[in-house]
Amino acid sequence: MELIPPGSLVRVQAGVHMEEKKKVGAGFGVLILRDSKILLGKRHEDPKKASSLLNGAGTWTMPGGKLDFGETFEAGAKREVLEETGLKLNKVNVICVSNDMVETAHFVTIGLFSDSFAGEPKVMEPNEITEWQWFDVDNLPTPLYFPSARVIENYKSKNFYISR
């Protein structure tokens, strides 16, 4: 009997077991602030449309996504915010990092902040996000997408990282 190390996936190719280690992804969430309000989008209720490996269907989330190869955090944030909301970020800064895991996925989430942008939010990807709304920083909707909740928590408590 062959033992497979924990945290590994096994792929059978041409009758041979090939070990494939699970990988950690990198993503980001952008806290966009206007008049003490945070922009949040409602993820689609259908998990296949919600586009989240961290199980975010039906939750409220900040704009964000996965970091592309060769991309800076700031460039990725500007790209994703424009794609998802139509907003053009003028300035964006890294404010925190978190380690987000569920049974099937693990992401390092980079939290970014912007209060300098142009435009009004629009639903640009209706199959993923059904609406965008501004919420008072002290009166947020539920359920919140847990990586977004961690970025907001770090922002409010002025922490860069909280170990869990």
- Rounded to two decimals, the pTM is 0.82
pLDDT digits (tens, 9 = 90+) for 78-101: 999 999 999 999 999 999 999 988
Find the DSSP H helices in the chain: 47-50, 73-85, 146-157
Q: Tell me how far CA of residue 57 lies from CA of 1, 17, 81, 120, in angstroms.
A: 39, 34, 19, 24
* Domains of the chain by residue range: 24-157
The alpha helices in 29-72, defined as continuous H runs, are 47-50
**Which fold would CATH assign to domain 24-157?**
Nucleoside Triphosphate Pyrophosphohydrolase (3.90.79)
Whole-number pLDDT of residue 102: 83
Tokens of 131: 């609406």
C-beta of residue 32 within 8 angstroms of C-beta of residue 39: yes
Q: How many CB atoms lie within 10 A of CB 118?
A: 9
Supply the pLDDT for residue 104.
82
Residue the block writes with tokens 């170990």: 163
